[in-house]
Chains A and B, each alone.
Chain A
Amino acid sequence: KAGVTQTPRYLIKTRGQQVTLSCSPISGHRSVSWYQQTPGQGLQFLFEYFSETQRNKGNFPGRFSGRQFSNSRSEMNVSTLELGDSALYLCASSQGTSGYEQYFGPGTRLTVT
């Protein structure tokens, strides 16, 4: 089976712009979660989608949003980028509704200048 794929792998944006990141889960997986990884804050949970519905949301401002499509692919969007949004954004897919193993993609490295 193909693993979790994320596009693009690298992205450079300017402060104030917006960005959309994409995640394709493992075939058959219906849950997609997003995490932000920074040196200072470590790995922080952004949100999780299951069957096109957001089930969990972390403690991030409303500039961070996401969605999931009927084929389980997910996108996250960050509007009005700030320098502090520079991070590695990781997507993870999981088979079931709760507590199943999560498989991570390689991440998208976002740099905001």
Chain B
Amino acid sequence: GDSVTQMEGPVTLSEEAFLTINCTYTATGYPSLFWYVQYPGEGLQLLLKATKADDKGSNKGFEATYRKETTSFHLEKGSVQVSDSAVYFCALFTGGGNKLTFGTGTQLKVEL
């Protein structure tokens, strides 16, 4: 079945550091890929998405490129802020309704 693997957290960075959160997937067919973010006490917010190979999703300084050859969708940001502290979830969708398969989430802590 479909699955998503994310790097273990927590990831602790200093403000303005470079961020990478790794995400790899296993899926039948050609999935759409997503990154969601969850702030404490809140639901999930869609951060960015990519629907086909080599697509780059971007939003709020975050980027991720759909790499079919390595089945990866790593999240990057050039300079993190304290306000980016949250849990980040990688997810995929492979058609047939609207079921999303999520990774386990990676907690990011950004310190001054």
Given contacts A42-B104, A43-B102, contact A50 B97 (CB under 8 A): yes
Interface residue tally of chain B, by bracket?
20 to 34
The secondary structure that dominates the B interface is loop
- B contacts, CB < 8 Å to A: 32, 34, 36, 41-46, 49, 51, 89, 93, 95-105
Partner of B44, one of A31, A90, A98: A90
- Name 12 A/B residue pairs within 8 A (Cβ), A-sorted: A33-B98, A35-B100, A45-B99, A45-B100, A48-B97, A48-B99, A56-B97, A58-B99, A92-B100, A94-B98, A98-B97, A99-B93
Known A55-B98, A104-B45; 4 more pairs at CB < 8 Å: A50-B97, A98-B98, A101-B49, A107-B43
- A contacts, CB < 8 Å to B: 4, 6, 31, 33, 35, 42-43, 45, 48, 50, 55-56, 58, 90, 92, 94, 98-107
A31 touches B98 (CB 8 A): yes
Total contacts A to B, CB within 8 angstroms? Answer: 64
Measured CB to CB, the nearest residue on chain A to B93 is A99
Question: What chain B residues lie within 8 Å of A4 (beta carbons)?
Answer: 43
B42 to chain A, nearest CB (A): 6
Question: What chain A residues lie within 8 Å of B49 (beta carbons)?
Answer: 101
Q: How far is the CA of A56 from the CA of B101 in the complex (A)?
A: 13
Given contacts A43-B89, A99-B32, A99-B95, contact A105 B43 (CB under 8 A): yes
Partner of A98, one of B89, B95, B104: B95
Q: How far is the CA of A25 from the CA of B61 in the complex (A)?
A: 28
Measured CB to CB, the nearest residue on chain A to B36 is A104
B8 to chain A, nearest CB (A): 13
Question: What chain A residues lie within 8 Å of B41 (beta carbons)?
Answer: 106
Q: How far is the CA of A53 from the CA of B42 in the complex (A)?
A: 28
Given contacts A42-B104, A99-B93, contact A48 B43 (CB under 8 A): no
Question: What chain A residues lie within 8 Å of B104 (beta carbons)?
Answer: 42
